[in-house]
Every structure is written in structure tokens, then in C-alpha cells.
Structure 1
Amino acid sequence: MSPARYGRYRGGPDPLAPPVDLAAALEAMSDDILEGYSPEQALREYLRRGDASTRGLDRLAGRVQQRRRDLLSRHRLGGTLDEARTLLDRAILAERGQLARDVDMDETDRAFRQMQIDDLPSSTAAAVSELADYDWASTEARQAYEQIKDLLGREMLDARFAGMKQALEGATDADRQAVTGMLSDLNDLLDKHARGEDTPEDFARFMAEHGDAFPEGPETIDELIDTLAQRAAAAQRMLRSMTAEQRRELMELSAQAFGSPELMAQLDRMDAALQGLRPGEDWSGAESFEGDQGLGLGDGTGVLQDLAELDRLAEQLSQSYAGSSLSDLDVESLARQLGDEAAVDARTLAEIERAMRDSGYLRRGADGDLRLSPRAMRRLGSSLLRDASARLADRSGARDTRLAGAAGEQTGASRPWQFGDTEPWDVTRTITNAITRTASTGGDPGHGLRLRVEDVEVHETEARTRAAVALLVDTSFSMASEGRWVPMKRTALALHHLIATRFRGDDLQLISFGRYARRMDVEELTALPAEYEQGTNLHHALLLAGRFFRSHPSMQLVLLVVTDGEPTAHLLPGGEPWFTYPPAPETLAATVAELDRVARLGTRTTFFRLGDDPGLERFLAAMARRVDGAVVAPDPEDLGSAVVGEYLRRRPGATTGGYDAA
């Protein structure tokens, strides 16, 4: 038996490939969404960029453009003229040799023939035309000359019917007559279709008689017309891409095709019919070829078809037209032009687009726009919380970052046992883990189980103490212009997810403050775009936080403030904001007075200072001392872990230990 060999599957999409990872796609979109892009825009940007395993639309479009440039730089038109000239030179050389060798020829006849040969015009087309009635003395010369007419006929047909040049090589007069008959029948069918008088039976009869000329296998007359029109339009663009001299030479030579002008008449009739039936094809374009590899009419038409196909792919990949979708992508054309791997990438992107819309991560709002669903918000919050927890662990060494209390009500979830845990075992999960481990190592669980430490899971609990948490986030324009907008939103999402999933008895209020302050839910904050808004109205934000705290009198109160600037606005008695820069004493006084009122409620306060503004540093330090609070100055990328850590430290009943503020 021959040894088996294995390699990468190349028959299209990998049938064993895992389904697309929508969670990874959502995470990749998250920064764009938090920047203020709509989910629709963020999805488009993700599809353009792709990821580590899948090339995005921009890279595929770049490869399309590179292939287009390669085709133009590699080729030049005029290959048929070059081939005709070569055959003509061969015929003339053979004729001169025969005239020199034939000692029995009449000298007058020899001189006349020599004069005809010597006086041929330099134009290939004109020389071929003058030699149409020449009585060749050399059999080899006559055969070379006849090959010119045969070549032209095959090239003219190949320009309209792919593969005709090879199919008619060495064709007999009967074969050529059959082609002429096919063209006549085709033109009659096209004329009948243009008048609306054709029937399916007419098409069936035509294909039964001439189907061998159409390897594409069209099943309807419209498919046949589409195929013919695309090729014919490419042939017209190829002629327009030639120089005026090349075009004139070719048109004059074409009269010699197969030695019969009837062929060109039938082809002209077909082109006119197709142009009328498919006016939307590009019949008038042209390309600039710059290479040195000559193309004949048939090959040149094929290259022009490739260029047209590449242009269509470029438009599809741009997704810039109304109603565009990746389902529009012609994956077969992409595979033909760029290979199977590009087609797999395109299918993957189309599957991600479809799955993101159908999975429940995105939903249509009342205005028709796509929005993140609650499921997507949970998934995104979970990812951001996981990232914040990892950063928190990195900053504080081998610190316990489990985000549930050590005692209290069970959350309904379980987690692996860790040294020092006092929670009750989750027996079902523990036994299941032991069975799974035993079976995976070849053992038989039916013969008994041996528990290991890694099998043990305990019931997760949350602390019974409940907290009311107000997270105040600065949304003034400096937050966006200084690169703090996305970290601020990531922080709010992470904290929201932590409270919603692990401390469900707590209540979180998100409050944004620019010139005004306002209460927001997490979906509103996620979608909030950066706007040029002057003012940092911490006074108004503290006022709203105080109202929130007073509505939760039985809870422990936690105030978290994220800002990158001193207060520059406060509310007047009439409710209007008053802005001034630098900060006015009245603004600072109003802000401090509102903070005092919040502190008297028993609030535990932490300020998160972003940036290195000395004035802000002094102001927040004074505020923290005033209310026995703390100031944390994290890097923007560490903001999430800093806020989560402070929440866990400030929250009564948390068991995660202290947190060292920078």
C-alpha cells in the first residue's frame, strides 16, 4: 500500500472548521462602538479590517487591484498582428527561395513575380490583401499564407467564443461552413428574442444542434445572451485599447478571415444584436497595456473579461452602494481571480455578517438602525471585566480576583475550589468533573472514581451587604481629544457587568457630566458619540448622585468619579449651567458644597484622575481629604482595573483585600 499523505484541504471552505467566533468579532468591534460608531458602522469596519485568521475586505480589494495592475503591466495587444506578420514573412522568404531555385521558370515570369514580392507595402494588412490573387510558386509559401487567413478566422471567433481558436485548428472547409451556419442560426434566434417572439423550444433546438460551441452550458436564452454579451463587450474594449494603427490593420486583415467576408458580416450582426439586448455592458471602455507579452484577439478578450470581472469584484468588495451586503460577493469569481483561500476568507466574512445579524447580538431599533442587543452588551461587558480583572491581578501580584463574596447568598453558579474557600461543595459538578477526567484518560468511571483537588467545585456566593454605586464619568471634549473616551466607556461597561452578574443586590447609576450632567443606562453611554462640549459640570453630577443615594437609604453608598479636568461649570438656581475657564471660585464652591452634602450621607468616595494637570491634582487631593476619600491616578488603559479594584475595596463586605492606589 502506498503511504497516505495529508495536506491542507483545498476544495473550498474547510468542512471541519469551527463555526465563526462571534464573541471575538464583537470584541474586535468594541473599540469602534465605544468611540461612537454605530454597531452598523463598527461591523462594516471590522469586515474591512478582518482579523488574524481572516483577511478583511480591504486586503481582498488590494489583491484585486494588484492583479489588475499585473495584467496590464504584463501584456500588450497586437499579438495577432505579430503572428500574422511572422507567417507573412515566412511565406515571402519561402517564395523568394523557390524563385531563386526554379531554373526552369520563364525569366520574364520570374522577374514579374520578384517585382510583386519586392513591391509589397510595409503594412501587413495591405500586403496580405495584395497577395490574395498571387500565384504562389512555393507550396510552403502558399501554406503559410493560407495559415494567415485561417489564423484570423479562428482569432475573430475566439474573441467572441472562448476556445474557438484551439477547436478550429486544422479545421476543414466543412467545419468552417458549420461555424458560419451556427452564427446565422444564433443571429436569427437573437433577432427573434429581441422581438419577443422566441420560445423555450427555439432555444432548446438551437442548443441541441450547436451546444458544443458553448462549454459554459447556458440553460436559458438569457444565460446565453449574458455569456455572449460579456465576451463581445470585452472584445470591443480590446479593440478600443489598441492604437489606431493596430485597429486599422486588424480591421483590414479581418476581411481575409477564412477567405470569406461572410464571417465578419455574421459577427458584426451578432455584436449589434447583443449590444441592443445588453446595453448595460461596458461597450466603449478601454485599457492601457504596458507589458511585452503579446496577446492575440482571443487571449486579449479573455484578459479584458478578467479585467471587467476584477472591476465587478472591486465594486462588490467596496460595499459602497445602497443595500450592499456580503451576500452580493461573487465567490466563484473571487476564487477564479485570487484563488481558493481568498474565497474562503470572503465566505467567512459573509458568514460573520449574516451571523451577527441573526445571532441576536444586533437588533433593529425603532428608527431602523442596528443596535447592540442586551445579549451583546452582556458579552461585551464580560470581556471587558475579564480584561480589567487580569490587569488588576497583574498590578497587585498573586491577588485573589474572584469577584464574589466569601459568604452569603448563593448566586446559582459554581467555581473551582481554591485554598481557603469555606463555601459548600457543588457535589454534582464535582462528580461530573471526576467522571469526565477519568473517561478522558481511558479509565472506566463504572469501576469507581478517585476525586482530585482539581475536580472540586464550590457554590459561588455573593456578599449580603448591598451597595448603591454612582459612577460619574467626565464626557467633556478633552476626554475624547486626549484618548480617554474609550477607556472611560470600557470601565463603565466592566463595572456594570460586574454588578449585574456578581453583585446583583447592588444598584449602579451611571452619570455623565459635560456642560450638563445626566443619568444614563449603559446602552446610552456605549453609543454616546464624542461631541465638542465645553464644561466640566461635576456640581450637577454630584447633585444627581445625591438624589440617587437618598433613594437608597438602607444601602452602603459608593461614589466613583472619573475626570480629567477641574470643574468649569455649575448649575445656577434657575437650572441653567454657568461656564467659565479657568475655574471660577463660585464653581469650585458649589462643587465642594455638593460633595459635602453627598459625604454626609455616609458615602465612600474615590476620584480617578486622568492626565497630569497640576491644578486638577491639587483640587482632587483637597476634595479627597475633605471627605476621607482616595485619589487614584491610573493610565487610561488601566482605568477599568482601577475602578473595579476600588469598587471591590470600597464596597462593604468585599473579601478581596486592600488596593494600593497610585
Structure 2
Amino acid sequence: MSRYKKYDGGDPLAPPVDLAEALDAIGEDVMAGYSPERAMAEFLRRGGKDQAGLDDLARRVAERRQEITQRHNLDGTLQEVRELLDQAVLAERGQLARDITMDDGDRALREMQLDNLSPSTAAAVSELASYDWASSEARERYEQIKDLLGRELLDQRFDGMKQALEGATEQDRAAINEMLTDLNELLEKRRQGVDTDDDFRDFMGKHGDQFAGPSGNPQNLDELMDSLAQRAAAAQRMLNSMSPEQRQELMELSAQAFGSPELMQQLARMDDNLQALRPGEDWSGSEQFSGEEGLGLGDGTGALQDLAELDALADQLSQSYGGARMEDVDLDALARQLGDQAAVEAKTLQELERALRDSGYLKRGSDGDLRLSPKAMRQLGKALLRDVADRMSGRSGARESRSKGLAGEPTGSSRPWQFGDTEQWDVPRTLTNAMVRQGGERPMRLAIDDVEVVETEARTQAAVVLLVDTSFSMAMDGRWVPMKRTALALHQLISSRFRGDHLQLVTFGRHAQVMEIEELTALDARWAKGTNLHHGLLLANRFFRKHPNAQPVLLVVTDGEPTAHLESSGEVFFDYPPHPLTIAHAVSELDNTARLGAQVTFFRLGEDPGLARFIDSMARRVDGRMVSPELDDLGAAVVGSYLGSRATGSSYAQQFGGWGGRGFWVGG
């Protein structure tokens, strides 16, 4: 048998969550030094281009909370009682003035009682409890006060009772008193640990129709206690939020509810039971209300419940506690407070977090921390490579000359075009793809995804070393993230397009270190002083010697002259300004690089003239090049230089071998 219910998942035709934007943002933050866990939390906090984030939802929760407290005050019931009392007294005075049959002494006594009523509303109501009303209208207004107080007190504890008991009979009130008596007996059984499921079923069988309000029918005693305790605690916070004078008047008036103190006694007994059974509720809090719109006891309690719910939502949306997850956000509460659209936005964030965790882009390390997986690194690398391609295609001064021939031997197969390809197009396959995609539509238009190229085998291999400066100045001057972006883009290009090439990433600060791409992208900024180019070149030359049949390619990214070198003992020598011995060690090892036949390119960051002269002289010494890119163009410069050295004599060598566009100058 099929069952149906209202769909509550937002737009059923909405596309699945798009992880591309999230992964790009997370990758950027990881390279800036965030952990993947924190980077994901930051993206969920900020949101995306067309997706509200947690900060926006939290702001709207705070605005809703402020609206409640600044719009309302808590003396609505007292005001309503005062109005009914004034109406009763006015009607009684009118009756006394009109009744010519009344004894003058009796009239004078009654008028004196009315004239001497206490200015306190509660005291005046109490003083009139035994008054013999001459006016039927006045008596009706006074009875309305007792009825109102009873319904308001019940509405404080049982949402919807004020409306349900409007016009209630004595029989209805007796049923309420009986329900409260049975409820307290059931709660006291629970306190003693002797209640049973049958007790709850018997209670609901007898009184269940009185719990069919907005909160729905509880399925067990715990659900009933949770609902009652939350409401009762909110009622207590409302009392705490009143002024001492308001609180005193209300407590005195409560004794007049339904004309006797019995109701208040039963409710006090219930509150005592609930506080014992649910001590975790906030029974002592208070709020400041400053508005002009008065709230009755039931509505005021509802407002306090709303504030508690908003506070819980604010805590959930902050995600600032240990083990926080988007699944913690109560979507039903969010819909009640901010509307259905807010719940849909939060649900989308939940699905996004779940997709990020379940998609394989994040993996849990041996230490329990999240890390970017190889799959995520590839995705991020593709995005960075696309950015590099865009910058290279728009480079002013880049010549569009093409040379004939292939960069390798044809294999007889074709494959989709990728950035960096120099092979000829496979025209039949390309046109076939376009026709299939367009279904024979005329005129036929080519899209980039239609293009296939002739697959070739590379004629030569390259051994590529990217030396990246990780000294203090790189972090201090904002070059840390661009350096990482560059390394990841180059890694992605070589691993996806030039798989036969060998790439090694070497960082050099006070000492040098070989790193995997995952280590480099997660590397925190290093604040130790020292630029040990000598050690970096030692590691690069060792790598080149391991690949004697490959063309050595050395790419050096730095923003400072060498200030450290590795001594024969293995200790690091540091001095600033650069010591002549440090310079000599770096130059000597660079000469070894040249003897290995390496193609060398230096990428100089910064505008230091002394650094420019030093790098220029180093490049000239080994017949290499120096490029001084703008920071945003570093990735395009390094990738372009690699492609140029990788395809010497081909179109890429001509296109990227000697940039002269804005932001670049070439020496050597």
C-alpha cells in the first residue's frame, strides 16, 4: 500500500547541489592555511554566489529575535483585566445612578465601595469578589475577568487553551480540573518510577482530545513531558521578565481564575513535577521587552518559546561547538521562525555538506582530521589550470604563430582536446561530435567539447623541478597562496596531459625539502628567515641525475637573494645581507645544473632592484631566462614557460618563449 505526504524538500525540480564552487573556495582557503574542515565550515558560513550561507540565516534569526522583543511588552493580560474592570465599574455606576427604586443608603454604600477601590488592579478585583452587582452588564464584565484569567493561565501551559475554552461551561471547567488532577498523578508516578505505558494510554484515552492542539498528539509520556516542560519553562521565564509590580499583581489575580484558587494550585503542582522531571529546561532565564503591543499570558509564553527556539537556532547556525554538523539545524523550527524558504536554504547547505563528505573530495587522515583527497586535488587543479588558460589566451604580445607537424608520433586514436594540446585536430571525429550534439541542426556550430585531437606518443620526456621560495618574505608579502596555486596548476597539467614527464616540487626556506603536492597545498606559512637556494638546487640536480634520459627543466620562483646555504656538515649557514660564501655556493650548484643541460627559468617576485640584478646575472650565466610576472599572472608564467621548454621548436616554444606583454620582462 502506497502512502503519500506533503513534499517538504523545496523545489523538486531544482538541480543537484553543485560542488564546483564549493571545492574552488575550499581549495583556496586550504592553500591559505586553513584545514579542510575549517575551509568547508567557512564556505558554509559565507554561502555561494546564489546560495545563502549560515551567516545570512543567523542574521535573519537575530533580526527576528529583535523584532519580538522590541515590538511587544508583557502586560497585555493586566491591561485587558484593567479594561474589563473599568467597564464593570462604569456600568455599575450607571446602574446606581439610574435605579430610582434603590434605597439611598444602599446606593451611597455601594458608591463608597466603588470610590475606595484600590488603585492596584489585582487588589480591586479581589475587593469586588463579594460585591453584589446591581448591573447585569457589570456582573458579566467581572465574570469575564475570572474567565479570562483562567483561560490565560491554562494557555500558558497548554497552547491553544485560551481559544478552546472561550465560552466554556462549568462542566468544561470541571473536565479541565479533572485532567490536571490525573496529569499530576501520572507525573508523580513517573517521579517515583512506577508509571507504565498503560497509565499513559489510559490518560490519553480519557483526556486526549484536550491535547490535539498546535503541538500535535504526544505518542508517549516523554513526548508529553517535553512539550509541557518547554511551555511551562517559557511561562516561568515570562514571569521572570516582568517587573516586580507586574509579577505581584499577576500572582494575586491568579487566585481569581475561574473564581477559585484551585486552578492555580493544580498548575503550581504541575510546574513542580515538571521542574523535577525536566531540570535541563531554562526555568530561571528572563528577557527584556520594550515594545508597545501587549501580550497576554498565553501569547507571551509563546513569545518566550519563540525566543528560546531562536536562541537554539542561533547556536545551531553558529556551528561553533565540537562535532557541529549541518544536520544539527532544526529545519522545522527554521521554517516556523523565518519561513519555508529559509528552511529550503538550510537544507541545501545540509545536502552540500553531506555531498562534500560523501563524494570522496574530503578524506579522514590517520589523525582523524579531514584532508583534501587526490580527487579533490585534481578538481582544484583543473579549475586553476582553466584560470591559467584564460590568462594565457588573453596575454597581450603573445604571438599566434603555428608550426606544422605533431609533437609526437600518431597512435592511430583520437581523444578530447585538453588545455596544453599541440596535436592536430581529428577533423572527422570533431565534426561527427558536433552533428550528434546538434541533432542535424543547421547551420552546424562547433563547441569546444566537440574537438578531438590526434593522439600521439611523446618523442621526449622532461624531468621538471619547480623550486618555490617558502621564506619569511613570501608569507609576509602575500605571495604564499599564488605560489601554491602555481604549483598545483603545473602539477595538474603534467599529471593529466604530459604523464610521461617527471615532476618534483621542492620548497626552499631556511632549508630545502621535497614535497608532494598535497603537502605543499596544505603547508602553513613559514616565518623562519632564510632563502637556501643552494640546498634547493642540490635536490633539483639529484632529481635530474635520477632521470638521465629526460630533458631537465628547472623553474625557480623566488622573491629574495640567497641568504642561507648548506655546509658540508649538514648544518645551515644563515646571514643577512647575503654572505659572499652563500652566493658562491648557489652559483656553483647552478653551474652543475647547467652542465646537466637543464633549461632554467627564474620567476622574480617583487620590485627589489638588487634582486633583479642578481637573478638576471644568474639567468645569463646558464643561458636561461628571467621573468618578472605580476603576482596574479605567476601561474600563467610558470605554465607557459614549462610548455615552451617542453615543446622546444614547436608552436608553444614560439608562443611562450619570449613574452613581452604588460607585467613581464625577459632577460638572458
TM range (shorter): over 0.9
Could you tell me which residue of structure 1 aligns to residue 3 of structure 2? none
The question of 1:464 aligning with 2:462 is answered no
1:76 aligns with 2:73: yes
Deviation of the 1:192 alpha carbon:
1.3
Residue pair 1:405, 1:463 contacting (<8 A) in 2 also:
no
- Range with bigger deviation, 116-125 or 179-188: 179-188
Contact 1:414/1:460 (8 A) holds in 2: no
Cα deviation per residue 1:102-137 (whole Å; 9 max; x = unaligned)? 111100001000100000010000000000000011
Could you tell me which residue of structure 2 aligns to residue 3 of structure 1? none
TM-score (norm 1): 0.93
Matches within 5 A, 1:355-504: 355-396=355-396, 406-408=407-409, 413-415=415-417, 422-425=424-427, 427=429, 430-438=431-439, 441=441, 457-461=452-456, 463-504=458-499
User: Paired residue for 1:562, among 553, 557, 561?
Assistant: 557
Q: Which residue of 2 aligns with 1:584?
A: 579
Aligned to 1:238: 238
Which whole-Å deviations, capped at 9, do the CAs of 1:423-463 have from their partners, x for residues lacking one? 54564x75354233226x5x9xxxxxx98766663334464
Structure 1 partner of 2:324? 324
Which amino acid in 1 is paired with 2:52?
Answer: R
SS at match of 1:395: coil
Aligned mates of 2:20, 2:271 — CA distance in 1: 53
* Structure 2: distance between partners of 1:256 and 1:401: 98
- Alpha-carbon distance change, 389 to 420 in structure 1, aligned in 2, over 3 angstroms: closer
Structure 1 pair 452–349 and aligned structure 2 pair: CA distance change class (3 A) = closer
CA distance in structure 1 between the partners assigned to 2:587 and 2:14 by the alignment:
60
Show CA shifts across 1:33-74 (max 9, x none). Answer: 001211111111111111112111122112111111111111
Amino acid corresponding to residue 328 of structure 2 in structure 1 = D
| Other-structure match for 2:601 | 606
Cα drift, residue 555 of structure 1: 1.1
Moved more, 169-178 or 462-471: 462-471
2:37 to 35, 40, 49: 40
Residue in 1 that maps onto 2:173: 176
Among 76, 96, 99, the residue aligned to 2:96: 99
Q: For this pair of structures, how many residues does the alignment match? A: 644
- Inter-CA distance 481–649: structure 2 relative to 1 (3 Å threshold): same
Query: In structure 2, what is the Cα distance between the partners aligned to 1:405 and 1:227?
Result: 76
Match of 1:6 in 2: none
* Aligned residue number for residue 310 of structure 1: 310
Distance in 1 between the 2:407 and 2:539 partners? 33
Cα displacement (A) at 1:401: 12
Residue 63 to residue 401, structure 1, CA distance change in 2 (3 Å): farther
Given the superposition, is the C-alpha separation of residues 420 and 392 from structure 1 closer, same or farther in structure 2, using an over 3 Å criterion? closer
The one-letter amino acid of 1:582's match is P
- In structure 2, what is the Cα distance between the partners aligned to 1:652 and 1:397? 19
Report the counterpart of residue 25 of structure 1 in structure 2.
22
CA distance in 2, matches of 1:401, 1:499: 24
Matched, 1:631 2:626: yes
Secondary structure in structure 1 of the residue aligned to 2:569: coil
| Equivalent position SS for 2:294 | strand
Shift of 1:655: 3.0
User: Aligned partners of 1:134, 1:650: CA distance in 2, in Å?
Assistant: 107
CA spacing shift, 1:421–1:640, aligned 2, 3 Å: closer
Any stretches of 5+ residues in structure 2 without a counterpart? 1-5
Alignment of 1:204-283 (within 5 A): 204-214=201-211, 215=213, 216-283=216-283
Q: How far, CA to CA, are the matches of 1:574 and 1:306 in structure 2?
A: 71
User: Is the deviation greater in 599-608 or in 316-325?
Assistant: 316-325
What is the rounded CA distance, in whole Å, between the counterparts of 1:416 and 1:521 in structure 2? 24
Deviation by residue 1:12-42 (Cα, 9 ceiling, x = unmatched)? 4211111111122110111110012111111
- Match status 1:596 vs 2:597: no
Kindly report the root-mean-square deviation, in angstroms, between the aligned alpha carbons of the 2 structures: 2.3
Letter of the 1:44 counterpart: A
Whole-angstrom CA distance in 2 between matches of 1:94 and 1:198: 52
Q: TM-score, normalised by structure 2?
A: 0.93
Partner of 1:545: 540
1:4 match: none
Change in Cα spacing, 1:547 to 1:37, as seen in structure 2 (3 Å) is same
Answer with 290-299 or 186-195: which moved more.
Answer: 186-195
CA shift, 1:598, in A, is 0.6
**Is 2:119 the partner of 1:122?**
yes
- CA change 1:111–1:458 in 2 (3 A) is same
Inter-CA distance 238–462: structure 2 relative to 1 (3 Å threshold): farther
CA distance in 1, matches of 2:428, 2:209: 73
- Which deviates the most, 190-199 or 76-85? 190-199
What does residue 636 of structure 2 align with? 641
Tell me the distance in 1 between the aligned counterparts of 2:595 and 2:362: 43
2:44 aligned counterpart, secondary structure: helix
In structure 1, distance between residues paired with 2:503 and 2:401: 20
Change in 2 beyond 3 A, CA 1:585/1:288: same
Q: Distance in 1 between matches of 2:504 and 2:396?
A: 28
- Per the alignment, do residues 438 and 419 of structure 1 end up closer, same or farther by CA in structure 2, a change over 3 Å counting? farther
Closer, same or farther: CA 42–156 of 1 in aligned 2, 3 Å:
same
Range 343-352 or range 300-309, more displaced: 343-352
